[in-house]
Amino acid sequence: MKKRLASTSSDFSKLDRKTIERNRRIQMKSLCHQLGSLIPPNLKPTKSKFMLGQQDQLDLAARYIKHMTERIEKLKRQKEQAMSNQSSDRKMMDTNIDTKLPILELRDLGSGIEVMLVSGLNKTFMLYEVISVLEEEGAEVVTASFSTIGDKIFYVVHAQVKISRVGVETTRVKDRLQEFIAPLEIWPEDM
């Protein structure tokens, strides 16, 4: 009886090993197929009769991965170089901006206006005055925000036209805002 139980358990273990091996082969085949499907079609052979074997697909995938890794490294180097150039350009731009503060930009968005204003910490003004000018000229303020970065204050105001057929004359708004911020340039720094 012991011999029979031993042979039965060894039969089960053989079946288990066969099943495990078959499942492993099915999974590997599926993974190889997935890997092959990730290779761009332009890198695969064009002849429809010629099918790549599993080993050829793996070789092609390995070459493609190596190529993409090299490309990623090249792009990272280019990005680092561009970022270092940009930071040096930004430093130069910051010194140029400091001498030209405050800066006023107005963008006509058709049915709206975007006002961007940059000032220094020592040349501040009230945001409500900018909003008042916009509203007096026929625009309704949708959003207004500011942020302080370093020694600069950035104001952004989005407004839309109250009456679309009348509109808002952006040059007039810009002139009024320019008059409003121009005295800031004349004021002494200690006031």
Per the CB < 8 A criterion, the answer to whether 154 and 116 are in contact is yes
pTM above 0.85, yes or no: no
Query: What tens digit of pLDDT does each residue of 124-164 get?
Result: 667 778 888 888 888 888 888 888 888 888 888 888 887 76
- d(C-alpha 36, C-alpha 118), whole Å: 54
Residue of 1 and 88 predicted with greater confidence: 88
**The pLDDT value given to residue 182:** 63
- d(C-alpha 144, C-alpha 62), whole Å: 53
What's 99-167 look like in SS3? Answer: HCCCEEEEEECCCEEEEEEEEECCCCCCHHHHHHHHHHCCEEEEEEEEEEECCEEEEEEEEEECCCCCC
What type of residue is 138?
G
- d(C-alpha 64, C-alpha 118), whole Å: 49
Residue of 5 and 32 predicted with greater confidence: 32
- List the one residue out of 159, 164, 165 whose CA is nearest residue 133: 159
**The pLDDT value given to residue 183:** 53
- List the one residue out of 8, 31, 27 whose CA is nearest residue 19: 27
**The pLDDT value given to residue 22:** 94
- d(C-alpha 153, C-alpha 139), whole Å: 23
- List the one residue out of 33, 15, 34 whose CA is nearest residue 23: 15
Query: What tens digit of pLDDT does each residue of 7-66 get?
Result: 566 777 888 899 999 999 999 999 988 888 888 877 777 665 567 788 888 888 888 889
What is the sign of the dihedral through the CA atoms of 36, 41, 46 and 48? positive
Q: What is the Cα 147 distance to its own chain's centre?
A: 20
190 pLDDT exceeds 50? no
Query: What tens digit of pLDDT does each residue of 84-131 get?
Result: 887 766 665 555 555 577 788 888 877 788 888 888 877 666 777 888
189 pLDDT exceeds 50? no
